[in-house]
Amino acid sequence: MAFTVVWFIGLCSLLLGYGVHVEASHLVSLHLQSQQNTTATHQPYRTGYHFQPAKNWINDPNGPMIYKGIYHLFYQYNPYGAVWGNIVWAHATSTDLVNWVHYEPAIKPSIESDINGCWSGSTTILSGNKPAVLYTGIDPQNRQVQNLASPKNLSDPYLREWIKSTQNPVMTPIDGINASSFRDPTTAWKGPDGQWRVIIGSKIDRLGKAILYRSKDFIHWVRAHHPLHSSKNTGMWECPDFFPVSVKSTVGLDTSVNGPSVKHVLKVSLDDTKHEYYTIGTYDLKKDKYVPDNGSIDNGSGLRYDYGKFYASKTFFDSSKNRRILWGWINESDSVQDDVNKGWSGIQAIPRNIWLDKTGKQLVQWPIEEIEMLHEKPIDWHSTELKAGSLLEVSGVTASQADVDVSFNLSTLEKAESMDPSWANPQLLCSEKGASVKGSLGPFGLLVLASKGLEEQTAIFFRVFKAEKSYAVLMCSDQSRSSLGQDLDKTTYGAFLDVDPLHEGLSLRSLIDHSIVESFGGKGKACFTARVYPEVAINDKAHLYVFNNGSENVKLSKLSAWSMKKAQISY
C-alpha cells in the first residue's frame, strides 16, 4: 500500500504558487471524503486506452494474475470519491490485458482485522491452480496486519466472490515490528523444503527491510529470524516485489523458480521519495537471504523501472505466454481540487513485459504486444535527414492518442560536447539542458501533445556527450512547457541510457494518451512516464513533431506512428 501523505489544499497550492516542488502522491483532504463526486462533462484528460475506472480515486495495482485464461487485476479504490480513503480491492478482468470488464469490489472492510481498510497485497497460485490473496488490513487499533482471502467458487473463471479466512489475521506486528510500517505482502514462492515464503515491507527507524515469513499451509505463518534483505537510510519499504529472471532468455519465470541460470530481482517502493528502485542479485536458498550483485545499488540512487510517474508496481507470471508482466500506478500531477472537479484520480500504466538485459546489469521493459491491436492509420517514414534546428510535423495520426516509434542514427560523434564529471545527476542535467537549450548532438527527439504555436509541448529527447573513455547518452522527458496551467507538477525527468551510439541507433517509443506519455528509450532500457495537462493542445488541437535542436545533423532512420483506437472498458 502506497501510504498516505496528508496535504491541505490551501497549503499545497501556496507552496506550488511560490515555486516549491511538491511531489504528487496520495493527496488527501479529509473534509472532501464525504462529498459526492461531481464528474465534469469536459474531460480532455481521460485516457483512451489506459486502464482506469469510470470515476473516483485509484492507486496501487494488486494481485494481478491469470486464472483459467482470464487476466485479473485488483487495485486500491475509493468507491465514494476522488481522494484517498475508504479503500477496497476493486476488480476487473480481461482476455487480452487491453479491454476490461469491471465487477463489484472483491475485498472490502467487513471483519475486525480489516475494518479500517483493505490495503495492498498479492495473489499466489497454490497447488491445484487455486488462487490465494494475502493483503494488508487495518484493524480497530489502526495496526497493519496481514489477511488471507480465497475465491468462493473456483469454477467461476471471473472469481467474482471472495471469502476471508476465519484464521485472520494470519500475520500480526509482534516481536518489535512497527505496527504502522508492516504492509504489502508479495506473491509467495515455494522453497525446496516445500514451505511457502513471503516478504512484508517494513522499517526500523531509517532501516528499510523485507520481513520474511514461512508457512507450510499458507495459513499459519512463522517469522524468520532475519529479513530477506535490508538497507540503511532508505526508510519504509512499500510494495516490495521479489521474482526470478532468466540469465539466458527473455522468457519469464514462475515466482518459485531458482537455479544456476536464474537471477533474482528485489524491487521496493520508497515511501520517503515516492520512487521505486530495484536491484539484481542472488537468492541464497539455504540462508534465505538475498544479496545484490556488485554494482547493483540498493538505495535511492539505484536503478528504477521508470524515472517518471510510476509507483507501487507489481509483477506477475503470465503462464499462458511465459512472460513476466509489470503493472504500475500513475498518479496525478494536478491539485486535489482538480481531481475532485473532474471526479477521478489515478490511472494504471500500460502493462509491460519485463526481462533481464543481456548484460545482466539491468532490466528491460516493453509494452505488451497486445496493445498493438489498437493500431490504426499507420504512418511510416524512412531515412529522413534532420538538419540542425529542424522541426517536422508527423501528420495523419491522432496526435492526442497515438503510438510513435522512432530511430535515430548519428553519422559522426566527433563534435559531441564533452561530459563534465560533475554531471552525475541526469534529472538535474535534463532540467538544466532542456529541449530549448541548443547543444551539439542534441537535443533531438519528439515533441508530443504540442500546440500549433508550440507554447505547449512535452519533449522527449536525447543528448550525446563525449565522456572520458566512451560516449554518454542522456535521455530526458521535459514537462516544463507541457501546459499553460500553473499549479501543476512539471518536473523534468532524466536518465543515462546504457547504449553505444557508435554502433547502434538511438530508439524511442512513446505511447501518447491525452494526459499520459509513456516513453521507452534504447528498446526499453530506460522508461519515463509523464503526466501532463495541456490546455491548448487537447484532442484535435494536439500536434506531434520530430525535432533536432542541435548544431549537428541527425538521421531519422525510421519513424512508425499509429493512431490508437479506444480500448473497450465496461463498468
d(CA 405, CA 133): 38
d(CA 533, CA 334): 8
Q: Is the pLDDT confidence value at 13 over 90?
A: no
User: Which grid coordinates belong to 393?
Assistant: 510535423
56-67: strand order across its sheet = 344-345, 56-67, 70-77, 88-94, 100-107, 569-570
Residue 1: per-residue pLDDT: 67
Q: Which strand (E) or helix (H) includes residue 10?
A: helix 9-17
Q: Is the pLDDT confidence value at 401 over 50?
A: yes
pLDDT in tens, 412-466: 899 999 999 899 999 999 999 999 999 999 999 999 999 999 999 999 999 999 9
pLDDT in tens, 112-166: 999 999 999 999 999 999 999 999 999 999 999 999 999 999 999 999 999 999 9
Nearest CA to 332 among 33, 82, 549? 82
Chain center to CA of 406: 23
User: What is the rounded average pLDDT of the residues 174-203?
Assistant: 96
- Domains of the chain in start order, with CATH, are 5-367 (2.115.10.20), 375-570 (2.60.120.560)
User: What is the rounded average pLDDT of the residues 499-503?
Assistant: 91
Q: How does residue 354 score in pLDDT terms, banded at 50, 70 and 90?
A: very high
pLDDT in tens, 18-75: 232 223 333 333 344 444 445 577 899 999 999 999 999 999 999 999 999 999 999 9
User: Which grid coordinates belong to 382?
Assistant: 524512412
What Cα–Cα distance (Å) separates residue 528 from each residue in 91, 287, 310, 338, 497?
27, 36, 8, 24, 12
Q: How does residue 502 score in pLDDT terms, banded at 50, 70 and 90?
A: confident
CA dihedral of residues 34, 183, 277, 294 (deg, nearest 10): 170
d(CA 79, CA 106): 12
Nearest CA to 64 among 182, 187, 183? 187
Residue 351: per-residue pLDDT: 98
Residue 8: per-residue pLDDT: 28
User: Which grid coordinates belong to 233?
Assistant: 537510510
Average pLDDT of the residues of the chain: 92
User: What is the rounded average pLDDT of the residues 362-385?
Assistant: 97
Nearest CA to 163 among 174, 155, 171, 154? 154
Residue 427: per-residue pLDDT: 96
User: What is the rounded average pLDDT of the residues 339-368?
Assistant: 97
Is 131:65 a contact under the CB 8 Å cutoff?
yes
What Cα–Cα distance (Å) separates residue 490 from each residue in 172, 238, 348, 402?
41, 25, 20, 22
d(CA 234, CA 555): 43
Highest mean predicted confidence (pLDDT) among 38-42, 501-505, 508-512: 508-512
Q: What is the DSSP string of 449-472?
A: EE-TTSSS-EEEEEEEEE-SSSEE
Instruction: Report the catalytic residues.
Output: 60
Lowest mean pLDDT of 29-38, 169-178, 279-288, name the range: 29-38
Residue 35: per-residue pLDDT: 45
Q: How does residue 299 score in pLDDT terms, banded at 50, 70 and 90?
A: confident
What is the CA angle 186-192-196, rounded to 5?
30
Q: Is the pLDDT confidence value at 298 over 90?
A: no
User: Which grid coordinates belong to 122?
Assistant: 498479492
Instruction: Reduce the DSSP state of residue 182 to 3 states and report it.
Output: strand
d(CA 273, CA 287): 31
d(CA 313, CA 268): 9
What Cα–Cα distance (Å) separates residue 441 from each residue in 391, 459, 481?
15, 16, 22
The percent of residues above 70 in pLDDT, for the chain, comes to 93
Residue 17: per-residue pLDDT: 30
* Residue 321: Cβ within 10 Å count: 14
User: Which grid coordinates belong to 496?
Assistant: 543515462
